[in-house]
Amino acid sequence: MDCSMMKFKLQSGKFMPLIGFGTYLITGNQLIYQVLDEALAAGYRHIDTATVYHNETSIGQALKVLLPKYNLKREDIFITSKLAPIDQGEGAFSAVQESLKKLDCGYLDLYLIHWPGAGRLPVNSQENNKLRSKSWESLAKAVKAGLVKDIGVSNYTVKHLNELLMNDYGVKPSVNQVEWHPKFHQPELLNLCRQEGILLQAYSSLGGTGNSNLIRDPTVVQIAAQLQKTPAQVLLRWAVQQNIGIIPKARTEEHIKSNIDLNFEIPVEMMTRLSNLNSNEKFAWNPEVVA
């Protein structure tokens, strides 16, 4: 099956493309237009953004021009945005409305709580727990109001997720977007997500921004050479082959195209070797510290 066509059924019954296009650190009208033009041409139909990326307006403006160019309608693409930590709590509903206004897209397919902690609060404060629960209550209202089709979380640990599942205000999370790659993956978290019908979606699939430790790992490089693929393709395929969502970001046409060109199989023995690289090496922030 063509990887770009692979989809996951969310809690709403709607389907989300397993491969999305990440836009973290990609800003400016011209650059956003250019990368989205290339992404849509390559077959991406899922765009991932967030309030804190400061590019929602640019994405909205670009899509107004690009969708007709590719003979696409709003419902042909999947748009995800995320709640800024500063908006945790009752402000979450207004934050959804603000994202919608900037993206100018009628509705959001998916909206995530970006971080389990709240802005301006110490990570160990028990207020974090109360505020993220309030956020979820607000997001459940946004679903019922038709502003968002599905809601989910990002950077939630097993503890945070279990706590949410105990009181989900009638709307279960559809996605948990977390750091996930061969050097950092947690079976317990994946098992919990699968048990609850939550898609685990990976970020930092290729390692940290500006950190090439993972992409240059000897095992990854060797397997890529044997399969005649790039190390990036191997790392992305490793996730997709386990039915884990990915949102690779890229700025060059070459990388944009190769990141979605994952129609190959990694043999079981090589998958095991990649998974065995797990050494708890993180490239992003650590949500474990958030109360």
Q: Which CATH superfamily is domain 3-289 in?
A: NADP-dependent oxidoreductase domain (3.20.20.100)
Q: What is the torsion angle, in degrees rounded to the nearest 10, for the CA atoms of residue 172, residue 151, residue 98 and residue 40? A: -170
Please, is 280 exposed, middle or buried when counting C-beta atoms within 10 Å of its C-beta (0-12, 13-18, 19+)? exposed
- pLDDT value at residue 5: 84
Per-residue pLDDT of the chain (291 residues; tens, 9 = 90+): 677 789 999 999 999 999 999 999 999 999 999 999 999 999 999 999 999 999 999 999 999 999 999 999 999 999 999 999 999 998 999 999 999 999 999 999 999 999 999 998 999 999 999 999 999 999 999 999 999 999 999 999 999 999 999 999 999 999 999 999 999 999 999 999 999 999 999 999 999 888 899 999 999 999 999 999 999 999 999 999 999 999 999 999 999 999 999 999 999 999 999 999 999 999 999 999 999
Contacts of 237 (CB under 8 A, 6+ apart): 229, 262, 264, 266
Q: Are 5 and 196 in contact (CB under 8 A)?
A: no
For residue 156, what pLDDT is reported? 98
pLDDT of residue 222: 98
What pLDDT sits at residue 42? 97
Active-site position among 24, 44, 53, 169: 53
Answer whether 0.95 is exceeded by the pTM: yes
Q: What is the dihedral of CA 150, 154, 158, 164, to 10 degrees?
A: -50
Look up 70 and say whether it is catalytic.
no
